[in-house]
Amino acid sequence: MCATPAPDTPDRESPGATGSHGTASDAIIDGTHVSDEALATLIGLAAHEVPGVVGMTPTNLGEGIRRVLGVSQANEGVEIVRSGGEDAAPEVLLHVVVAYGVNIPVVAESIVERVRYAARHYGGVTVSDVKVHVAGVSRG
């Protein structure tokens, strides 16, 4: 059974409705929120797929301690920064180790493209900027 609201009742499903129930931002009925941790894991896995990437380096002391204890996570080496608040497009900082002999600028550009694609198509998030910090070079 489908009922329609009375003309004087605010329609919460219309994007511009702002009746006594809340603001226009409350009118969003369906939506998905991807947490920064989930986004970091998704981005870390995408960065590992790029040929020439050997691994990621810890971004802070907590990640360094987890690595020493033998606990590695897929989001290691990924920082998500939202400078404009929770609803702002995130900036992604990656700390990677590349293989010896690869063209570092080409690998970095591949990482940027793969991260943007993965965030947009798998997470539904458009990132504002992707910065790749090459923290080391490994023999393999």
Task: For residues 46 and 82, state if they share a domain.
Answer: yes
27 lies in the same domain as 46: no
Burial class (CB in 10 A: 0-12, 13-18, 19+), 48: middle
Please give the chain's pLDDT, 140 residues, in tens: 444 444 444 444 444 444 444 444 444 456 778 888 999 999 999 999 999 999 888 776 776 676 666 666 778 889 999 888 777 889 999 999 999 999 999 999 999 999 999 999 999 999 999 999 999 999 85
CATH number at residue 55: 3.30.70.1350
Strands 78-81 and 91-99: antiparallel
> Is residue 2 located within the same domain as residue 52?
no
**Over the chain, what is the mean pLDDT?**
79
0.85 exceeded by pTM: no
Answer whether 91's CB lies under 8 Å from 133's CB.
no
Instruction: Please tell me the distance from the alpha carbon of residue 46 to that of residue 33, in angstroms, as a whole number.
Output: 20
H/E element holding 81? strand 78-81
The tokens for 133 are 């910090």
Residues with Cβ within 8 Å of residue 58, at least 6 apart in sequence:
64, 66, 67, 76, 77, 95
Q: Are 13 and 44 members of one domain? A: no
The answer on 46 and 114 residing in a single domain is yes
* In the chain, alpha helices (H): 36-48, 61-68, 104-123
The pLDDT score that the predictor gives to residue 80 is: 92
Which domain covers residue 2, as residue numbers? 1-31
Residues 101 and 60 grouped into a single domain: yes
Q: Specify whether 17 is located in the same domain as 63.
A: no
> What's the one-letter identity of residue 35?
S
- Predicted confidence at residue 63, as pLDDT, reads 67
Please state the domain count of the chain: 2
2 and 57 within one domain: no
